[in-house]
Each structure stands twice: as structure tokens, then as C-alpha cells.
Amino acid sequence: MGFPDRIERTVEIGHPPARVWAALTTAEGLGTWFGHAATIDLRPGGAASMTWTSGDKASMRIERVEEPTVFGFTWGIYGLPDDDPRRTYVEFTLEPTDTGTRLTVVESGFAQLPEDGFRKAFDGNTEGWASELGELVEYLDANAA
């Protein structure tokens, strides 16, 4: 099936790295092209958030701030509960070019394993007794008829 762990895209932008950096790392920028509103505490360990008029919200934790070349953060995986420990890491890399900026984004961690607590939920389900209980319920239901 092929579970993608990592997504990568590169785009050429006709604007200098300083402007792209501002769009990526300021509340004004993020709240315009990405979310509908944003907050950001731009330092490693700082918090950032984006909200959408749909009611969706993304909470990020800033990991790397190396102006104006590397900006990285982690955020939750869309669709998982807010308290789920699984998060993906998003890293933007900016390279100056003759015409502007080469911007690369790498998002990784989609295929990460569940935490130990979640793994127990899988491992605890031994096929043998699950199958036998299925047969038991079939037997009981048949006799109850």
C-alpha cells in the first residue's frame, strides 16, 4: 500500500527571501495566506496558532528559527484528537535565487508509530481469544433464538 511518511514540495517564488520569510513567520503573513488569523511567538519552543472561519484551529510549536533560511514547527495530525501525541514536523527552507526564492517544505511523521499506550491497544488484542469470543457469541445468539 505504501504509507507516505514524508511530503516534500519545492516552489520558485519571484520575491526575495526576506518577504517570503515574513509571510511564513509573522502573524500578519500566516493569518493571510495560510489561516484566517494567526498568532506566533517566534522562537524555538514558542507557540503559534492559526484559526479559520470554519472553526478549525491549528496549534504549532516552533522548533527552528534561522532567519532567513530555516523555519520549522510541529503540529498535530489533522483528524486526530487534540491530545493525541502524534505530530508531524514541518520545515521550510528558503534559498535565494536570481529571480527570488526557492522555497521547500518538508512535512514528515505521517507514518509514525503510535505511542506505547496506543500500541498496547493493538498488542492486547490477541487474535485467538477475539476469534473464539466471536464464535461464542454466535453460539449464544443461536441458542437464544
Partner 1 sequence: MPTPPDIEAVAEAVFTALADPSRRGILAALAAGGPATATDLATRLPITRQGIAKHLALLADAGLVAPEAGAGRRVHYRLQSAPMHVAQQFLAALARDWDRQFDALQTHLDAAPVDQPARRNDGTSES
Question: CB of 145 within 8 A of CB of 44?
Answer: no
**Shortest separation between residue 30's beta carbon and partner 1, angstroms:** 10
What whole-number distance in Å separates Cα of residue 127 and Cα of residue 134?
11
Residues 113 and 136: their CA atoms lie apart, in Å, by 33
Burial 88-104 (b: 16+ CB within 10 A, else e): bbbbbbbeeeeebbbbe
| Residue among 59 and 112 whose Cβ is closer to partner 1 | 112
Phi, psi of 109 (to 5 degrees): 115, 10
Grid cell 527552528 in the structure block, residue: 64
Smallest gap from Cβ 95 to partner 1, in A, equals 15
* Least distance to partner 1, CB of residue 9, Å: 5
What type of residue is 52?
Answer: W
Residues in contact with partner 1 by CB under 8 A are 1-7, 9, 11, 13-15, 18-20, 23, 29, 32-34, 77-81, 84, 86, 88, 103, 105, 107-114, 118, 121-122, 125, 127, 130-131, 133-138, 140-142, 144-145
Nearest to partner 1 of 62, 94 (CB atom): 94
How many residues can be counted in the chain?
A: 145
Cβ proximity to partner 1: between 15 and 57 the closer is 15
Q: How far is the CB of 62 from partner 1 (least distance, A)?
A: 18
Q: Closest CB to partner 1 among 62 and 107?
A: 107
- Collapsing DSSP to helix, strand or coil, 65 comes out as strand
Which residue, 22 or 45, has its beta carbon nearer to partner 1?
A: 22
**Shortest distance, position 43 Cβ to partner 1, whole Å:** 23
